[in-house]
Amino acid sequence: MLPMDHDTTSPPAPVAVVGAGTMGAGIAQVAAASGHEVILVDAAPGAADAALTRLRAILTRQVTKGRMTDAEAAGVVGRIEPAVLVDGLPEVGLVVEAVPEDLALKQRLLAGVAASQPPTTILATNTSSLDITAIAEALPDPERVLGLHFFNPPPLMRLVEVVHGEATAEAYLAHVAALMRAWGKTPVRCTSTPGFIVNRVARPFYGEGQRVVEEGIADPATVDWILREKGGFRMGPFELTDLIGQDVNYAVGASVWEQTGHDPRYAPTQFQRGLVESGRLGRKTGEGVFSYAAQPPAARPEPDLGLAERLVTGPVETDPLARTVAMLVNEAVDLVRREEASAADVDTAMRLGVNYPRGPIEWGRPIGFDVVAQQIAALDRAFPGGRYRPSPGLTDGSLDE
């Protein structure tokens, strides 16, 4: 059976977004801006109305700045209808749930929605870390359940990971990928692997920097400087995790580590655990790796530029950039080798989802995948324990053009 809205000549089918928090409100805005009638549901009384009030204020500012007309803003807001209960939802083409990250809650919610919607309605979850197969398990027709992983904030971030569980039917995946393009997004596809593409492949960006500091090779300010100035990353791993929140970043890493059966590749560092346990969570607490005290204003430690130059021209074991890039390439190649995502989608996901200057596969090509394999092997000799395992995909020729 084909999903509603399959016929591109018909008006867009209504969409229901369940959960009107950070993500749900943004997803509702994106759908409404693309012409869909949207029902925005939140169990907390007043939450969906409050989300709409916030959206009105955001769009009024857009109008003031000349980025949209009054009529366009009114159209977006006018197409969103706030609601309190999921029960009695009218028929829609797509449901996107963005309720808190709790497997039982999501299973229950989608099972309830499935019972009241026609079998053609696509049921999407915006989960960042739960297994799509497990979410779909509770449903009689798991083939219509898939992940639509938007990034924060949804109206600004182009990337959407379209995630398939074991039972998801291809027709639905193709349909939502086309729908995401119609919404101005760039969809990438992946299996329900822990962390999907972005949250998995990005792990070494944080982990290598933290290990370099733990090993006494360099201080955080110097590592950040190297990754930014020599690597082209917008931010170094320490300033970035201070911005994200050390607790949030730690939780994502720990979730991937748990879901991979404690694979040492994803083991959290004592360095970050210490920050979290001592409440030094970053900007939001005024103290993280760096201090953000306002009075007196905290000075950021200066990078040691002499040390930085020596490290980036030295062996891989002590070069924060070469280590990080080698591990990013290794992680990306491994994902592709396991057929969890295509090389092109991994590169797109890392460029758009976390603003990397280059996709890891395209980064690995000029270095040489065999060279990356040698670098990982050298790291394994220097730091044994299973973290540094060259992916067989680096040397089996599967990525040769």
Ligand X SMILES: NC(=O)c1ccc[n+]([C@@H]2O[C@H](COP(=O)([O-])OP(=O)(O)OC[C@H]3O[C@@H](n4cnc5c(N)ncnc54)[C@H](O)[C@@H]3O)[C@@H](O)[C@H]2O)c1
- Chain residues in the site for ligand X (CB under 6 A): 18-24, 41-44, 47, 86, 98-101, 105, 109, 126-128, 150, 152
- What residues have CB less than 8 Å from 171, skipping those under 6 apart? 2, 3
d(CA 85, CA 98): 14
> Which residue among 34, 126, 128, 192 is the active-site one?
128
Shortest reach from residue 184's CB to ligand X, in Å:
18
Beta strands in 94-228 (DSSP E): 94-97, 122-125, 145-150, 159-164, 186-191
Q: Which helix (H) or strand (E) holds 22?
A: helix 22-33
| Annotated catalytic residue within 149, 330, 331, 391 | 149
Residue whose tokens read 């009638």: 37
Determine phi and psi for 187, rounding to 5 degrees.
-80, 145
Structure tokens at 392: 């067989």
Cα gap 272→203, rounded to integer Å:
13
Q: In this complex, which beta carbon is closest to ligand X, that of residue 176 or of residue 311?
A: 176
Q: Which of 126, 129, 192, 199 is catalytic?
A: 199
In angstroms, give the least distance from the CB of 13 to ligand X. 21
Q: CB of residue 151 vs ligand X: minimum separation in angstroms?
A: 6
By beta-carbon proximity to ligand X, the closer residue of 19 and 268 is 19
For 114, the token pair is: 């499935």
User: How far, CA to CA in Å, does 272 sit from each of 11, 207, 249, 261, 303?
Assistant: 50, 9, 9, 20, 20
For residues 132 and 125, the answer to whether their CB atoms sit within 8 Å is yes
CB 138, min distance to ligand X, A? 15
For ligand X, the closer CB: 101 or 263: 101
Report the DSSP pairing between strands 145-150 and 159-164: antiparallel
Residue 149 a catalytic site member:
yes
CA distance 208 to 148: 29
Sole residue written with tokens 């204020």: 57
Kindly name the residue from 161, 239, 287, 331 that is annotated as catalytic: 161
Contacts of 293 (CB under 8 A, 6+ apart): 286, 287
Pairwise CA distance, residues 154 & 172, whole Å: 21
Query: Which strand ranges, in their side-by-side order, compose the sheet holding 145-150?
Result: 80-83, 38-41, 15-18, 94-97, 122-125, 145-150, 159-164, 186-191
170 is catalytic: no
Residue nearest to ligand X (CB): 21
- Phi and psi at 190, nearest 5°, equal -155, 165
Residue 126 a catalytic site member: no
Q: Which residues are catalytic?
A: 128, 149, 161, 199
